[in-house]
Amino acid sequence: MLADIYLSVRRQTFVWVDPGKFHREDFSVHTNGETIFVCEHTDRSVAGFLSLWPEDDFIHMLYIRQEFQGLGAGTALLRALPEWPQHKYRLKCLVNNRRAKAFYLSHGFAVTGNGASPEGDYEELSFSPV
C-alpha cells in the first residue's frame, strides 16, 4: 500500500519528470533503513506516510494521497516525529513542488540551502525549535 501511494503521488506531483522514471519497486529501495510513520484516516485507510533517516534527523519523504491532501495528515505525521517540535529536523524539497514548500514553511521550516537532483533543483529546509 505505501509503495502504491509513493508511486501515485510522485506521478501526480512531479509532472515535470517523465512518469516512466518512477516504479513501484522504488519505495523499498528508497526507504531502506528508514523509520516509517503512517497516518490512517478514521475509516482505517492509509492517508499517507513519512520516512525518517533518524541518524541525521532527516525527513526523507512525506507523501499524502491526493484525496487526503490539505486535511491534516501531513501535520499529523510531523507531530508524530520524536520530540516534535522541540527537535531540529531537516529535509529537501524540490523547488517545483511549491505546494509542499508552502506546507513546510507554514510549519516552521526555513530555507537553509539548495542543490540539484535528477528530479530538479531543491532547497534544503530546516526546522529549528523556538
Domain boundaries 1-127, CATH class: alpha beta
- The owner of cell 507554514 is 106
Over residues 73-122, the pLDDT tens digits come to 999 999 999 999 999 999 999 999 999 999 999 999 999 999 999 889 99
Q: What is the mean pLDDT of residues 9-29?
A: 93
Please give the average per-residue pLDDT across 58-65, as a whole number: 97
How high is the pLDDT of residue 130?
Answer: 66
Question: Which residue shows C-alpha cell 501531513?
Answer: 74
- Are 93 and 101 in contact by the 8 Å Cβ rule? The answer is yes
Residue 129 has pLDDT above 90, yes or no: no
pLDDT at 7: 94
The amino acid at 63: Y
Confidence label for 41 from pLDDT (cuts 50, 70 and 90): very high
The SS3 call for residue 116 is strand
Neighbours of 86 (CB within 10 A): 8
For the chain, the structural domain boundaries read: 1-127
Q: Does an H or E element contain 52, and which?
A: strand 46-53
| Grid-cell match 509503495, residue found | 3
- What distance in Å separates the CA atoms of residue 16 and residue 126, rounded to the nearest whole number? 25
- Give the pTM: 0.93
